[in-house]
Chains A and B, each alone.
Chain A
């Protein structure tokens, strides 16, 4: 109990001490919190978007086969489907029809895709909430789509995807095959790409190799490759942002270093007084430890909470253009909160611990002075 009371008394004194330099400590707290906020925002954003991408890709085909003409993606003939099906180890193969549609009225791009469940429903679409919002259309209204021949087609909205799937479905328009071919003037017997399922995931690369051998103008894309690319892209974007933030991190380090290490003559004298009136060196250090902890922990917690609100409740307004990339549709989606404990612990140990240590070390130097220095 005495130990607890002692710590309480020391914390109480530390708080009084901190309040004495209100301006300086408030400035430090604000800058520190802002830095944590920025770093944690980048961390939360890249972490959850990567997680979200991984969840999305869980349902993606194991292999996608695209045809290339002069290095560009081209329509794939239906005949290729039969050739791919013949490859040993392929469980199923299916053609896929999808593409991008530029809506000149809103200036947005939509992803148009054929859905087998709509094959008996021409003139009907299922859309993402972003499409609805962009076109300012009511939930069961119609949307106009301009076909490649210049004619307009109106589609009835029968279903809107929930906001939770916004990251992948915000710009999505699902329709039947017939309507799709009409809009883009794609002849029968051609698809955008082929999607494959394999019997044994360990054979993915072997099957991909066989496809390129059999159909030299195609490119098989593995799901894992897409995932790796996504991760690399988001890591890279996060990295770019951290590099941009590096300047402010450095400025903070200099500021904090100056504040923490530069014990003023007044502070040194105070430490001498405390020792003279009966404080042990360890008591002084504990007090300085609390001082560092109070500042860094409160900055850390506030910064992390603000970053959480920023990323998961305001769609990272501050730096979403950098992190979300080039997309021309502006999905107002909210990421599903996901926090990587290891990353958070990393941020804690890279900020709170160094700050607390830089507070203690110079005080330790001052605290080992003889208490009689105040008598001299």
Chain B
């Protein structure tokens, strides 16, 4: 279970441009399920995922992950949790240009200190899983939108995370690719992964693979 208790996140605290992204969010997220966060831009979906995914600390409130309080953990531990527990799929995909598809998939695992050959084998397996084995040595900028999306998913999975976090994953995809993406998410959920997706795309939150939809507005949960 992931539990958030009265979590607040304020940016630029005390400055004229102070902005409250989360205004006291309390929520329990069940593991092994797919949860979608929907709401308009600026509703706090992305910030909520950042806080849950150990990317940002809340300004106030508590976050518990698998019965462990993580809010007060030092940076180093948060990074380790982020690397080992979460896999991230970003809205802009954030693949690193100029290097190969295979290297992009391996990036999150480099700091683990595993043998290169083992790491490479695992990354190739993941690429094969997403029918990208033939593109392993291609540079990411040569891939189509759908292929790049699947590379981003493979990268998110390389460290065997139990939770997948996707922020507006279908923002740059057409309907067919969006449906394909949700199919992959459902498949991963069926394999035991917890899926957290922030999106305002109906293809996502109306997808049959989504178990829970959390609606947000102005930094708060409305339903």
Residues of A within 8 A of B (CB): 1-6, 8-10, 12-13, 16-17, 19-21, 266, 269-270, 273-281, 283, 370-372, 374-376
Contact = CB atoms under 8 A, between A and B. Distances in A.
- 3 closest residue pairs by CB, A with B: A278-B83, A20-B98, A2-B113
The dominant DSSP class at the B interface is helix
Contacts of A16: 99-100, 103
Interface of B: 46-47, 49-50, 55-56, 75-76, 79-80, 82-84, 88, 90-92, 94, 96-100, 103, 106-116, 119, 155, 159, 167
Given A370-B55, A374-B94, A375-B50, A278 B111 contact: yes
Contacts of B98: 17, 19-21
A278 B99 contact: no
B186 to A, nearest CB: 23
A2 B118 CA distance: 13
B83 A9 contact: no
A375 B116 contact: no
A376 B51 CA distance: 12
12 contacts: A2-B113, A9-B116, A9-B119, A16-B99, A275-B79, A278-B79, A278-B82, A278-B108, A279-B108, A283-B110, A372-B55, A375-B55
Contacts of A371: 55-56, 79, 82
A244 B111 CA distance: 46
B82 A13 contact: no
B111 to A, nearest CB: 5
A244 B50 CA distance: 56
A372 B50 contact: yes
Contacts of A370: 55-56
A104 B13 CA distance: 89
Given A20-B97, A280-B79, 20 more contacts: A1-B113, A4-B113, A5-B114, A6-B112, A8-B116, A9-B113, A10-B111, A16-B103, A17-B99, A270-B96, A276-B90, A276-B94, A278-B80, A278-B84, A371-B55, A372-B50, A374-B94, A375-B46, A375-B91, A376-B46
Given A277-B83, A280-B79, A370-B55, A6 B94 contact: no
A277 B88 contact: yes
Chain A CB within 10 Å, residue with most, of B108, B111, B113:
B111
A279 B111 contact: yes
B75 A278 contact: no
A276 B55 contact: yes
A3 B155 CA distance: 22
Contacts of B115: 5
A83 B55 CA distance: 93
Contacts of A280: 75-76, 79, 111
A266 B82 CA distance: 23
A3 to B, nearest CB: 6
Nearest to B119: A9
Nearest to A286: B111
Nearest to B98: A20
Contact of A279 (B55, B79, B116, B167): B79
Nearest to A283: B111
Nearest to B86: A278
A197 B114 CA distance: 72
B110 A9 contact: yes
B72 to A, nearest CB: 17
Chain A CB within 10 Å, residue with most, of B79, B110, B119:
B110
A277 B86 CA distance: 8
B90 A374 contact: yes
Given A276-B55, A276-B88, A12 B116 contact: yes
A189 B108 CA distance: 91
B31 to A, nearest CB: 20
A1 B116 CA distance: 12
Contacts of A266: 97
Contacts of A8: 116
Contacts of B159: 278
A369 to B, nearest CB: 11
Contacts of B119: 9
Contacts of B88: 276-277
Contacts of B96: 270, 273
A63 to B, nearest CB: 69
